[in-house]
Structure 1
Amino acid sequence: MKAQESVCLVHPEIKIKDIMSLYCTDKDLEQKIKNQSVYHFIGDHDQRKCFSVLMLVEVIKQVDKTLDVINLGAEDFIVYYKRKQEESKIFHYGKIVFVILVAFFGASFSIMTYNTDVGIEELFYNVYEMIMGQAPDGPNILHISYAAGLAIGIILFFNHAGKIKLNDDPTPFEVQMRLYERDVNDTLMINAGRKGEEADVDS
């Protein structure tokens, strides 16, 4: 068997097939095990529960005590229960617009403060005067090339331009989100273990 580190379900009844992959040479027995109930969330609010893989072994052994169970996945995992809700299109697109505005103005502010800190305007002024022999009277080729290079660099680094990805590698955002998700899950499992809230064979 192979359990994932975290699973999100939209129904309160947790069966083995919902939270792990399972292989058995006896297909009838495999289907019977997959349909075994593990836990049932009570209430209609969003919840989460930490489980030990030993609990799954116990559930499987209840079906057939002679089975040899080999775990190839996580030793502890979290199941999230999220109620299935229909989200209005206005609210959905409103969230998208909000994120776009925050990202745009946040990035703009960061770039402007960086340029101010390093004195980029003064640097361009001096470089232009050094090469052209006269002081610039406004935006010039250095500003244009810098702005274009900045945009191209951001697209190449983040590997994303609209719906187009430059290659199949995950973007830095995706990598950071997966790392954050893993850290959150690890923290929740450690806290559940310390508080005795983890569903285990002796709980």
Structure 2
Amino acid sequence: MPNQVYVRMKKNMELTEYQLLQLKDIAVISTNDTKKKEIEYAPIYRLGKKDKNIVVIDSFLVIEHLNRNFPDLDFQLIGPNQTIIRINKRRKSPSVLIALSVWLLIFVGTAMTIMNFHYDVSMQEVHQKVHFLLTGEKKEYPLWLQIPYSLGLGIGMLLFFNHWFNKRFNEEPSPLEVEIYNYQQDLDDYVIQYENAHNDADHPHSSS
């Protein structure tokens, strides 16, 4: 009975340059066979400019390729059925001026959004009414309510996004990270569907 080799494809990979892909680059294997190193370093596909920036490698074609090169072994696939490779060429770091401009744009946009929301819901009138109910006095600017409310709004946003610069408050993902993850999942599903529809049966990959 041939030795079994378990192959688990990596779901996503990011590279900064075109290169020769070996099995260890796109998958993790587990086996007791003495040929483990040889299998890991088996060439699968050479990336080139024709592949542009996205390549989808199908596990079925990888297993077929391995079966031809190692006929005495039994390959068993577990996990994802494709590996999506994104080629992101090295880019220069953005200038401080551009980073500050983007930060300023986001800051002003966020501030305008918050102010417009408070204007729409008449937040100042709400504070005035709360002040009147608690003190029996009418006051145009109840600062003792407005200042803590403003501070609480900022602290609440920090807790909501679970980040202070690069520091996390806890290990729980923020709602924004969950939405980004869901978006990435949908994007990967689309890429796999689109690439497989244009897959060339003569090669273990499809490129966009």
Q: TM-score range by the shorter chain?
A: 0.7 to 0.9
Give the letter aligned to residue 123 of structure 2.
I
Confirm whether residue 76 of structure 1 aligns to residue 82 of structure 2. yes
Q: Please identify, of 35-44 and 57-66, the stretch whose mean Cα deviation from structure 2 is larger.
A: 35-44
Paired residue for 2:33?
26
1:125 corresponding residue in structure 2? 128
Distance in 1, matches of 2:66 and 2:139, equals: 78
Q: Which amino acid letter does the alignment assign opposite residue 152 of structure 1? A: I
Which residue does the alignment assign to 2:198? Answer: 195
Give the partner amino acid of 1:87. K
In structure 1, what is the equivalent of residue 92 of structure 2? 87
- Output the amino acid matched with 2:146: H
* C-alpha distance after superposition, 1:82-136 (max 9, x if no partner): 23x2524xx2545543443343223222211221221111111122123222221
Distance 1:5 1:99 in 2: 32
Aligned counterparts of 1:180 and 1:167: Cα–Cα separation in 2: 23
* Structure 1 residue 14 corresponds to structure 2 residue 17: no
How many residues are paired up? 199
- Give structure 1 stretches of 5+ with no counterpart: none
> Which range is displaced more, 141-150 or 34-43?
34-43
The residue type equivalent to 1:19 in the other structure is I
> Aligned-residue CA RMSD in angstroms?
2.6
Whether the 8 Å CA contact 2:128–2:140 is kept in 1: the answer is no
SS at match of 1:151: helix
Residue 58 of structure 2 contacts residue 205 of structure 2 at CA under 8 Å; is this kept in 1?
Answer: no
Question: If the length of structure 2 is used for normalisation, what is the TM-score?
Answer: 0.83
Q: 1:58–1:201: 8 Å Cα contact kept in structure 2?
A: no
More strand per residue: 2
- Of 139, 158, 161, the match for 1:158: 161
Structure 1 residues 44, 188: CA separation in 2 closer, same or farther (over 3 Å shift)?
Answer: closer
TM-score (norm 1): 0.84
